[in-house]
Amino acid sequence: MPNILKTRICSLLNIEFPILQAGMGQVARGRLAAAVSQAGGLGVIGSAYMTAEELRREIHYVRSVTDKPFGVDILFGKVNGEDPVSMRYNREIESLIQVTLEERVPVLISGLGNPVGVIAEAHKRGMVVMSVVGNVRQALKLVREGVDAVIASGCEGGGHVGRIGTMALIPQVVDAVDVPVVAGGGLADGRGLVAALALGAEGIWMGTRFIATEEAFAHQNYKNKIVEIDGEGTVVTRAHSGKPVRMIRNRFTEEWERRSSEIQPYPLQLMNVGERAAILGRVEGDVDHGVLPAGQSSGLIGDIKPAAEVVRDTIREANAVLRRWQCVPFEDESVRSAGDQKFFDCSGEPF
């Protein structure tokens, strides 16, 4: 009998469990990525705010800890503009892409923007390419460009978000594309994993849950805040980067609510305001004035624990759900054929 939790994503990425730790700038460095990969998921280095040399060091760190596959997430959102800030921004992204290709990192993920132009080169080097999308249009475009899988992330999630909620987004993307879909946004435990599979996804992309881990590169105050707040403790604002970002509601978000007309377009707001505020919050631990991206799943997170435990607990919880259901379908002829092969096949055996 097939194992429901062994999906195409596990085969594509060569991982044991369909759990991907989301790329998170300044939070997901080598230590977190290595711990998740070593535990059987896919650990991902979030390269945002790193220099090329820092990224190279983090990649080497992961390789010194584990020989399992891992990824690098790059915000591909290059900008048009001849001004020095835009040109510096584009140069920095270019150098992160270059390092990731040179190092032949097993999985390259575009967190924002379009990796076209890099996909063929990555494939030549034996790398898998995945892209984060927030709607069907983006998913179709990126699949046409040749990405191997898409990560559909709903607006419940932390960090940059689209407008569609996870529950509605995932089945729409699953119906539209033929590559594996990974679900993100608001998922923080085994119930979320099973729900994502039921919607047709083949894995989950969890960010906020992994902030509250021992290995996350985040100030203790930030981790504590994730545990402290409930599901209403976050807000979506352009004040961090110029694009919508979900983050913890605090004095920073309240002040920029009053000054919303002053917010500059991406990436100017990021480079002139957001980068400093991000360091203040995530690294220096000023949880009142800094930028602290987090999703609505914060309300589900009650502890800070090792990343490997997050992976194991998620699988344990998913198993419990599958066992509890025992997946007995209606036998009545009138509803029997309604699901067809297209939907979740409950005949698998849990771990």
Ligand X SMILES: Cc1cc2nc3c(=O)[nH]c(=O)nc-3n(C[C@H](O)[C@H](O)[C@H](O)COP(=O)(O)O)c2cc1C
Q: Which residues contact ligand X (rule: CB under 6 A)?
A: 22-25, 27, 46, 48, 73, 75, 111-112, 132, 153, 156-160, 184-187, 205-208, 211, 293-295, 297
Least distance from C-beta 185 to ligand X, angstroms?
4
- Name the pairing type of β-strands 128-133 and 149-153: parallel
The nearer residue to ligand X, 191 or 348, going by C-beta atoms, is: 191
Least distance from C-beta 29 to ligand X, angstroms?
11
Compute how many other C-beta atoms are within 10 angstroms of the C-beta atom of residue 159. Answer: 29
- Name the pairing type of β-strands 204-206 and 43-46: unpaired
The nearer residue to ligand X, 112 or 199, going by C-beta atoms, is: 112
Least distance from C-beta 336 to ligand X, angstroms?
36
The nearer residue to ligand X, 168 or 335, going by C-beta atoms, is: 168
The nearer residue to ligand X, 205 or 266, going by C-beta atoms, is: 205
Q: What is the rounded CA–CA span in Å between residue 7 and residue 196?
A: 12
The nearer residue to ligand X, 248 or 338, going by C-beta atoms, is: 248
For 296, residues 6+ apart whose C-beta sits below 8 A from its C-beta are: 156, 157, 186, 231, 234, 246
Q: What is the rounded CA–CA span in Å between residue 303 and residue 298?
A: 10
Dihedral angle, C-alpha 342, 155, 227, 23, nearest 10 °: 80
The nearer residue to ligand X, 48 or 174, going by C-beta atoms, is: 48
Contact 46, 218 (CB under 8 A): no
The nearer residue to ligand X, 4 or 96, going by C-beta atoms, is: 96
Q: What is the rounded CA–CA span in Å between residue 271 and residue 275?
A: 6
Give the 3-state secondary structure of residue 19. Answer: strand
- Name the pairing type of β-strands 181-184 and 204-206: parallel
Q: Chain centroid to CA 346: how far?
A: 27
Contact 127, 149 (CB under 8 A): no
